[in-house]
């Protein structure tokens, strides 16, 4: 299995939000999630990014992410 990792782009905001919600649901914490796509665009890709994200892909399909600050 070959996985590639790339830097996330503003177009990935819906994907990242989905990954965050999926993880929260798995951890039974979905009720705690307040993130919006607009929040992600501002905080990841704005003038002064507050956090960073990479996307893992297998055969061109997103399969994971790393989000850090």
pLDDT band for position 1 (cuts 50, 70, 90): confident
Task: Please give the tally of structural domains in the chain.
Answer: 1
Domain that holds residue 62: 3-68
Q: CA angle 53-26-36, nearest 5°?
A: 45
Residue recorded with tokens 């999630």: 33
Task: Say whether 21 sits in a helix, a strand or coil.
Answer: helix
User: What are the tens digits of pLDDT across the range 11-31?
Assistant: 999 999 999 999 999 999 999
pTM: 0.92
CATH code for position 27: 3.40.630.30
């Amino acid at each position: 299995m070959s996985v590639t990792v790339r830097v996330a782009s503003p177009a990935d905001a819906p994907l990242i939000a989905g990954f965050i919600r999926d993880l929260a649901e798995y951890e039974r914490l979905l009720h705690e999630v307040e993130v919006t796509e607009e929040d992600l665009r501002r905080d990841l890709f704005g003038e002064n990014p507050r956090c960073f994200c990479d996307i893992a892909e297998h055969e061109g399909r997103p399969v994971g992410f790393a989000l850090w600050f």
